[in-house]
């Protein structure tokens, strides 16, 4: 019976993808959309399989933990519907609804897990608690984010469809982590919604209530799933808005905005102890260092002081952007990530030396992509000491960082160089 449900839902959502405007007005053909949808489902199923057999090494055993908790939540719907409908809003901690930035004993820290489990419990109503049928549902909803990002990138790079398509959807680590049943797919969807409506709202000079409603919805998803991403996103959006309005000195605007953000980061604690952001970041690192996993690496202790952040910055940059190294490879999964990391670095070198300078469209958005990506990567490098977790957390930013690089490479020049040398 589960096979029939799986097949039925598969055909239903594949049909819906060809009918919903968000998808069918993306510039992708129905065939391309269905292939991408099926690819996400296949990847999501593989993700679940890896979670069973290699979860410890891949730092992804959470996916089945979420599923098992969602089954209990689904059963609660029938045994105590009142509790089911209200437990998401109740804090059982002495601090109540305080400790917003805390990594432990915090309603807000638990909220991301509780909301995700609640979402899966709703899926269970229709899937009868089948993990792999839930993959179909999840793939449908999380395809929205990459499609929205693709639509923005194609508006900026209309002549670079193949590089944009490949870099948006098919970078292996992004496809893998955004397709599995975990929070990453929801985060990408939220970022896609925000970027799409902010971009076209600014471009068309029409940031109306409808667009703001979608932007706020995306922000609420980020607040629930990964509140630190929303904090990192805020200065990038502010700088994007100002630079889009002024249309000059954009790099200076972004630099000034981030200098102000850095000052606030280190000084807000003097206004209120609950806004001690350096301590929140240092505590997050401590929380990670107390965990066990197969891809742990040695990192310097981060202290809630300006000098400590400066001293740890090189290590954070290297860990978040360049690892795993070949020497970090312990199994086939980490080997694949190491190869991908080397390939992406090679793309960056091509961008540096063989850049197509003919297209200067969308500069405010491209600066937004760069500053958002770098600030998120550095934050990951400061806090996370597991390579598997680093790869997963940084995957959400890959389209924003890699698509502009891939689309700005002069592929025609590379093609001419290759074929001229062959002749």
Who wins on pLDDT, 41 or 362? 41
Rounded Cα gap, residues 400 and 167, in angstroms: 9
62 falls in which pLDDT band (50, 70, 90)? confident
pLDDT given at position 206: 87
pLDDT given at position 55: 57
The full DSSP string for 219-274 is HHHHHHH-HHHHHHHHHHHHHHHHHHHH-S-HHHHHHHHHHHHHHHHHHGGGT-GG
DSSP character at residue 275? G
Rounded Cα gap, residues 380 and 400, in angstroms: 16
Give the tens place of pLDDT for each residue, 179-219.
999 999 999 999 999 999 999 999 998 889 999 999 999 99
74 falls in which pLDDT band (50, 70, 90)? very high
Supply φ then ψ for residue 74, to 5 degrees: -60, -40
Rounded Cα gap, residues 142 and 190, in angstroms: 9
Name the pTM for this structure: 0.93
Peptide bond into 324 cis (omega under 30): yes
Q: Could you tell me the two tokens for 49?
A: 């399989």
Side-chain-side CA neighbours of residue 17 (13 Å): 27
For helices 131-142 and 62-79, the axis angle rounded to 10 degrees is 100
Give the tens place of pLDDT for each residue, 375-417.
999 999 999 998 888 999 999 999 999 999 999 998 888 887 8
Query: Above 80 in pLDDT, residue 311?
Result: yes
pLDDT given at position 35: 97
253 Rama class: left (phi>0) / alpha (psi -120 to 50) / beta? alpha
pLDDT given at position 56: 54
Mean pLDDT of 111-122: 92
pLDDT given at position 232: 96
47-56, 113-122, 309-318: range with lowest mean pLDDT: 47-56
pLDDT given at position 422: 60
Whole-Å CA distances, 118 to 47, 55, 75, 294: 21, 23, 12, 29
């Amino acid at each position: 019976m589960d096979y029939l449900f799986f097949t039925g839902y598969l055909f239903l959502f594949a049909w819906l993808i060809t009918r919903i405007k968000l998808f069918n007005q993306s510039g992708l053909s129905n065939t391309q959309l269905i292939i991408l949808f099926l690819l996400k489902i296949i990847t999501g199923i593989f993700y679940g399989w890896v979670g069973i057999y290699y979860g410890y090494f891949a730092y992804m055993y959470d996916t089945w933990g979420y599923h098992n908790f969602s089954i209990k939540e689904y059963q609660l719907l029938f045994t105590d519907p009142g509790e089911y409908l209200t437990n998401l809003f109740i804090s059982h901690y002495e601090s109540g609804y305080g400790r917003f930035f805390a990594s432990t004993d915090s309603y807000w820290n638990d909220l991301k897990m509780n909301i995700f489990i609640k979402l899966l419990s709703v899926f269970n109503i229709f899937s009868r608690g089948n993990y792999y049928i839930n993959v179909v549902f999840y793939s449908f909803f999380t395809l929205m984010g990459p499609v929205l990002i693709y639509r923005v990138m194609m508006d900026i790079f209309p002549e670079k469809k193949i590089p944009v398509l490949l870099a948006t959807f098919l970078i292996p680590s992004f496809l893998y982590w955004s397709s599995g049943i975990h929070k990453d797919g929801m985060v990408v969807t939220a970022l896609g919604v925000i970027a799409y409506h902010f971009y076209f709202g600014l471009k068309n000079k029409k940031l109306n209530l409808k667009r703001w409603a979608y932007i706020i919805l995306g922000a609420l998803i980020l607040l629930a799933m990964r509140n630190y991403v929303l904090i990192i996103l805020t200065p990038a959006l502010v700088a994007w808005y100002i630079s889009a309005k002024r249309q000059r000195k954009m790099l200076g605007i972004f630099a000034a905005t981030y200098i102000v953000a850095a000052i606030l980061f280190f000084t807000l604690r003097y206004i209120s102890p609950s806004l001690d952001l350096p301590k929140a970041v240092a505590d997050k690192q401590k929380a990670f260092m107390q965990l066990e996993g197969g891809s742990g690496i040695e990192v310097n202790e981060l202290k809630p002081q300006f000098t400590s952040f400066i001293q740890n910055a090189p290590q954070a940059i290297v860990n978040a952007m360049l690892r795993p190294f070949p020497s970090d490879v312990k199994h086939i999964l980490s080997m694949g990530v190491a190869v991908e990391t080397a390939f992406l670095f090679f793309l960056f070198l091509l961008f540096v030396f063989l850049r197509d300078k003919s297209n200067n469209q969308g500069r405010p958005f491209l600066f937004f992509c760069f500053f958002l990506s770098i600030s998120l990567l550095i934050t990951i490098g400061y806090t996370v000491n597991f390579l598997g977790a680093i790869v997963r957390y940084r995957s959400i930013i890959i389209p924003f960082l890699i698509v502009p690089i891939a689309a700005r490479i002069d592929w025609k020049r590379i093609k001419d160089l290759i074929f001229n040398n062959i002749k």
